[in-house]
Amino acid sequence: MECLFGFVGDGFALVVADTCANQSIVVQKTTEDKITCLDSHKLLGCIGESGDRVQFSNFIQKNMNLYHFRNGIPLSTSAAASFTRCELATALRKAPYQVNMMMAGYDKRTGPCLFYLDYIATLQKLNKGAQGFGAYFILSLFDKYYQKNMNVEEALQLVDKCIWEIGTRMVASPANYVIKIVDRNGARLLARRGRPEPAEEQEDLMQ
């Protein structure tokens, strides 16, 4: 029941992921960070099988650092997404990684951008996107509320709407979320959010 989504705003890109690590019906951890900082201006949100998710995220991060070390320049976000897609495609017919991802970055020339990648090596540049079971609810909210020129405050309001909808509609919704941002100042943690209680349930508890 994992949830991962992101979108591009006015000069920044956000990536949001739940923090639950589950095995079958057991919640093993509620503080798992599923968004990896690939370098100073790139984020990779990744969900899927725990082993594949951790190993593949680290593999991409270390290889990007190696490229920077060898050549003296970092990969652009588009190049990093293409490299990631190539690695997924190479492994697809051997031992495929069971991972779905959203990659966000900020480049000096092109500004913020967001890429969608899945376990069958699909790559698509988007302004907004979602992965996991939460996508069934989030995408409709994006259609209604998302705007390209949103500022950070408006973006957080939209994130809260998405988390509220997941917590209200999804049977086994995640309890906590981590929100990370990337802009010209770099990639960093922006906020953490918990699952809200629906107003109706709060009123029933008060009676």
Q: Where are the domains of the chain?
A: 3-206
Output the pLDDT for position 198. 54
- The two tokens of residue 188 are 């960093």
The whole-angstrom separation of Cα 179 and Cα 54 is 18
Give the pLDDT score at 197.
63
Q: What value does the CA radius of gyration of the chain take, rounded to a whole number of Å?
A: 17
Stretches where the chain sits below pLDDT 70 are 196-207
Phi, psi at residue 194, to the nearest 5°? -105, 165
CATH class entry, domain 3-206: alpha beta
CB burial of residue 117 (10 Å; 0-12, 13-18, 19+): buried
Q: What is the predicted pLDDT for the residue at 205?
A: 33
Helix (H, G, I), strand (E, B) or coil at 31: coil
3-state percent helix, strand, coil for the chain, nearest multiple of 5: 35, 35, 30
Whether residue 11 contacts residue 61, with contact meaning beta carbons closer than 8 Å, is answered with: no
Q: How far apart, in Å, are the Cα atoms of 166 and each of 9, 10, 28, 105, 203?
A: 22, 25, 20, 26, 20
Which residues, at least 6 apart from 163, have a Cβ–Cβ distance to it below 8 Å?
16, 177, 193, 195, 196
**pLDDT on residue 25:** 81
Q: What is the pLDDT of residue 22?
A: 84
| Cβ(27)–Cβ(20) below 8 Å | yes
